[in-house]
């Protein structure tokens, strides 16, 4: 009980602390890069998607994802992701993310919904280059009948790299 009270107090203090003193401010900046974490990335002929990420406020960002291959069998993804920053540091933004996409692979198409937590970090000296990693869960109906659930943990090689203008 005491541990829960301490944890609740710590979360309250962190959520009310002045994040502007720590945060990498991306508000109004457009990031262009890639995202490779939807279900069509885990089948043959995987296709990383082109991604555009826009920070609407200091805490909220949206990402559009589009990728395709015309090889046989076809493979494509079109989706969106929503990001809410939870904890901000000088060179790292820790966030909650959820998204959805229409995916196709191996002549099958379906939908996917994912959610989880992640972080985007910035290497000092390269302040416009963001590297992301995420963990969470995904629900998709691309493989087999009906929806299947899978957990994921992706490094910046899959979660994405963005250059911010």
pLDDT per residue as tens digits for the range 65-109: 998 888 777 788 899 999 999 988 889 999 999 999 988 877 788
- CA–CA dist 123, 84 (Å, integer): 21
pLDDT per residue as tens digits for the range 41-51: 555 566 778 99
pLDDT of residue 65: 92
- CA–CA dist 120, 23 (Å, integer): 11
Contact 118, 134 (CB under 8 A): yes
User: Of residues 52 and 17, which shows the higher confidence score?
Assistant: 52
* pTM of the shown model: 0.77
Q: What mean pLDDT, rounded, does the chain reach?
A: 80
Contact 105, 72 (CB under 8 A): no
End-to-end CA distance of the chain: 47
Fold of 20-164: Porin (2.40.160)
């Amino acid at each position: 009980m005491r541990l829960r009270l301490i944890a609740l107090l710590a979360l309250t203090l962190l959520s009310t602390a002045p994040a502007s003193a720590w945060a990498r401010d991306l508000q109004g900046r457009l990031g262009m890069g890639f995202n490779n974490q939807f279900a069509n990335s885990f089948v043959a002929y995987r296709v990383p998607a082109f991604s555009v990420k826009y920070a609407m406020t200091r805490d909220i960002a949206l990402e559009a994802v589009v990728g395709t291959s015309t090889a046989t069998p076809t493979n494509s993804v079109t989706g969106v992701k929503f990001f809410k920053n939870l904890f901000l540091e000088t060179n790292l933004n820790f966030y909650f993310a959820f998204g959805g996409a229409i995916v196709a692979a191996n002549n099958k198409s379906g939908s996917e919904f994912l959610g989880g937590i992640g972080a985007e970090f910035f290497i000092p000296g390269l302040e416009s280059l963001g590297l992301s990693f995420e963990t969470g869960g995904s629900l998709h109906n691309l493989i087999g009948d009906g929806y299947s659930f899978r957990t994921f943990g992706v490094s910046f090689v899959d979660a994405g790299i963005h250059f911010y203008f």
